[in-house]
Structure 1
């Protein structure tokens, strides 16, 4: 049986593809221009020279290499924050899915309610609480809030419900395995697609996090890439724009590359994780 083709779906998919790729194409083209070409040529066409490598070198060496510091800060926040949030979501989601205890429905209601609350609404209360503890303007003020991922917890809860058979857990317990050994040796491999899915969501959220570091951090040495590039952009708008603006564009391109690489490397796990549980046997 031949699959039916929909012209409407093809056109809509093409429009969405162009909409998604156009900013990336603009970044790539303009990051390869010299400063005079950037100011005098059309944004979606190349300039007279190809200066991508020179712009990358200038980005990493400008202001004594502060871009490298911002990159390392972002990696720290992603590894500690997104990685920790994924681990906690996997443990908590598995526990809520496979253990029956009083108050389980209440926990479910709290999780659903937390998913509905935007992170920006909690930024100021979090700042006031961290200020009382003396943790503002430190990496902990960004890492600790990033460890809480209600949406990731909900995804792992729903995924673990069907991904890990109860019989397999009981068999491991009969063989004398403890709960943590059962989770890491038996359940964790079965939860891998969902875990990678949650990891990708958390990595993207932490990598692109802007408002929380803006509220918490004052020292540029602890800025992530988002906040650092915003500072450069403000400098480009006020003074020295003819020197800094090309660095903002190149830095934005370099910021996007790791996320694209992560999605390309983990897309098969991500797709299987999103579709898991959608088909019942």
Structure 2
């Protein structure tokens, strides 16, 4: 008698495949986060814009008021155009027109100083990038070290050096330190590496051009965006400089605008001259105008210079 054949084993159940999530739900889950990110960026930009414009708005509104309205009305309330004209006339005639002298001093310190500092920085940055000389990288390390040292920390050593050279309380004691701009040298080397091809310089040397002529005729025009960027940085830094003139100068005829406005503001607070407070407010508004004008005139070169390395 034969044994019954074993029954065939049942086939294993097919593996269960998880059902795909509906795409509409995934999109709806990502949409709120994208909206929140966009809203967050927009809010941060709005706050930054508000932070920038509020002081300027307060200056403009306060400059249109009389001294009584300045302390008796809302800070953002608009005054009268007649008061603005009177305040400007009083600003340029107070103390025998000393504000105009302060403004001319600041233009010389910042305008001429930043122009020469930009020329020196571009020439030094080009030399560090394109020329070979002994100890180049060590010298450039010293330049980077100068970038990390804040300007206020150098005021006292500069005063001691100026005292040795007899430059304290002179125009040159404030003007000469503005010609040194280590960060500008660093930027110039970056711009030189991005803007000036080595092949163009080699072709110029083969045609008989010397290094100085190659720099002036070929490299410098290519470095124009970097030159403008360095000029704007140094112009703003010198224009806003306060501690170095405070340490170096005692003659009010040599003061820059910032130091002169500080004298008026201190006079209003400590010596009981409230009219000097209005002079400080209107003078601050006039002192901001050249900075805005320079940035508006040179913004095309400045934008191209700031984005130079992004497309290399």
TM-score range, shorter chain: over 0.9
Aligned to 1:186: 218
Aligned to 1:231: 263
Aligned to 1:104: 136
- Output aligned runs, 1:50-199, within 5 Å: 50-199=82-231
CA contact (8 A) 1:120 1:211 kept: yes
1:194-234, Cα deviation, whole Å (9 max, x unpaired)? 11000000000011110000010010010000100100111
- State the 1:240 CA deviation: 4.3
1:53-82, Cα deviation, whole Å (9 max, x unpaired)? 111110000000000110111111123321
CA contact (8 A) 2:64 2:80 kept: no
Alpha-carbon distance in 2 for matches of 1:228, 1:270: 30
- State the 1:9 CA deviation: 0.9
> Root-mean-square deviation (CA), in Å?
1.3
Alpha-carbon distance in 1 for matches of 2:73, 2:240: 30
- Output aligned runs, 1:203-214, within 5 Å: 203-214=235-246
Aligned to 1:277: 309
Alpha-carbon distance in 1 for matches of 2:71, 2:247: 33
Q: What is the count of residue pairs matched by the alignment?
A: 277
Q: Secondary structure at the match of 2:238?
A: helix
Alpha-carbon distance in 2 for matches of 1:251, 1:176: 54
Alpha-carbon distance in 2 for matches of 1:33, 1:26: 11
Q: Secondary structure at the match of 1:43?
A: coil
Is structure 2 residue 48 aligned with structure 1 residue 16? Answer: yes
Aligned to 2:291: 259
Alpha-carbon distance in 2 for matches of 1:240, 1:264: 39
Alpha-carbon distance in 2 for matches of 1:181, 1:99: 14
Aligned to 2:68: 36
Alpha-carbon distance in 2 for matches of 1:32, 1:170: 60
Alpha-carbon distance in 1 for matches of 2:81, 2:89: 16
Q: Secondary structure at the match of 1:212?
A: helix
CA contact (8 A) 2:63 2:87 kept: yes
TM-score computed with the length of structure 2 as normaliser: 0.86
1:216 to 240, 248, 251: 248
